[in-house]
Amino acid sequence: LVSRKKKPEDTIINIKGATIGDGNAHFVFGPCAVESYEQVAQVAKSVKEKGLTLLRGGAFKPRTSPYDFQGLGFEGLKILKQIADEFGLAVISEIVSPEDIEKAADYIDVIQIGARNMQNFELLKAAGAVNKPVLLKRGIAATIDEFINAAEYIMSQGNGQIILCERGIRTYERATRNTLDITAVPILKQETHLPVFVDVTHSTGRRDLLLPAAKAALAIGADGVMAEVHPDPAVALSDAAQQMDLNQFDQFYKELQASRGVA
Ligand code: PEP
Ligand code: MN
């Protein structure tokens, strides 16, 4: 169902007026984790000022260590809903349990399936059974074929509103957190009719590489870029090393737009 051979024309996904896959670049910025209303509101204000409409923030955080901050759960989703209503933004958040999908759909505009859950087939099927856009991240060690099949699981249940997100894969290279597989973008665009985003934060894990990675993503044909922004990354409860602060965010966005010839 996701194959370009079956459906030659691009799928366009409407998220509160943002038409993902329309040939224009779209952007998803926001904190790694929802920590408080005030923290998300500061980022939301900055996103809004840029004329952007999509905001991310994790409420259920799949952390490597069980002792690390696990997220605010539904409290976090409530904060996102409040922010979405007050700022007129669309919010994206990761859901990790199949039984939470339906309920979560009342709070958020896009359901994110994280890298660690790309082959959680019950979760994929649950996401496929709701009428809500899904942002599906590539698994840490998933081949492109496995990634496409994960999207097929969602679509097989009836939900065709899927955005694929390349977020780096595990290789022997340690200079970056993961290895950004940049050619996955044109391959996914050739093989499927779905929009493709690149998450520059989790792929690189390095603040100094966010801008070049974002430029590369858009140059190679990505439909959008995701990056993490936190009002005070030094005290962030997750991913402190790689989130941009609000000034870095302004600069990043300005330079990215300039590089594309957008004022
Ligand atoms: C995230 O985007 O919040 C996240 C945890 O990313 P990934 O699933 O790609 O590791
Ligand atoms: Mn993160």
Q: What is the mean pLDDT of residues 24-38?
A: 98
Q: What is the mean pLDDT of residues 4-32?
A: 98
Per residue in 249-261, pLDDT (tens digit) is: 999 999 999 999 9
Confidence grade of residue 145 (pLDDT, cut at 50, 70, 90): very high
Residue 243: per-residue pLDDT: 97
Q: What is the mean pLDDT of residues 226-246?
A: 97
Residue 94 beta carbon below 6 angstroms from any ligand 1 atom: yes
Ligand 1 atom 9, closest CA: 115
Q: Over pLDDT 90: what percentage of the chain?
A: 99
Residue 58 beta carbon below 6 angstroms from any ligand 1 atom: yes
Q: What is the mean pLDDT of residues 50-55?
A: 98
Residue 137 beta carbon below 6 angstroms from any ligand 1 atom: yes
Average pLDDT, the chain: 98
Per residue in 104-114, pLDDT (tens digit) is: 999 999 999 99
Find out if CATH 3.20.20.70 is the number for domain 13-236+243-259. Answer: yes
Residue 160 beta carbon below 6 angstroms from any ligand 1 atom: no
Token digits of residue 255: 């330079």
Residue 50 CA to ligand 1 centre (angstroms)? 24
Residue 96 beta carbon below 6 angstroms from any ligand 1 atom: no
Q: Give the residue from 195, 151, 192 showing the smallest Cα distance to 28.
A: 195
Residue 30 beta carbon below 6 angstroms from any ligand 1 atom: no
Q: Give the residue from 154, 148, 165, 152 showing the smallest Cα distance to 56.
A: 165
Ligand 1 atom 10, closest CA: 115
Indicate the top mutation candidate among 61, 69, 137, 242 to test ligand 1's pocket, ranked by most ligand atoms within 8 A of CB.
137
Confidence grade of residue 14 (pLDDT, cut at 50, 70, 90): very high
pLDDT at residue 206 greater than cutoff 90: yes
Indicate the top mutation candidate among 61, 134, 202, 226 to test ligand 1's pocket, ranked by most ligand atoms within 8 A of CB.
202
Residue list, CB under 5 A from ion ligand 2: 32, 239
Q: Name the residue ranges covered by the structural domains of the chain.
A: 13-236+243-259
Q: What is the mean pLDDT of residues 150-154?
A: 98
pLDDT at residue 34 greater than cutoff 80: yes
Residue 168 beta carbon below 6 angstroms from any ligand 1 atom: no
Per residue in 91-143, pLDDT (tens digit) is: 999 999 999 999 999 999 999 999 999 999 999 999 999 999 999 999 999 99
pTM: 0.98
Residue 94 CA to ligand 1 centre (angstroms)? 8
Residue 138 beta carbon below 6 angstroms from any ligand 1 atom: no
Residue 164 beta carbon below 6 angstroms from any ligand 1 atom: no
Residue 126: per-residue pLDDT: 98
Residue 45: per-residue pLDDT: 98
Q: Note the ligand closest to the C-alpha atom of 112.
A: 1
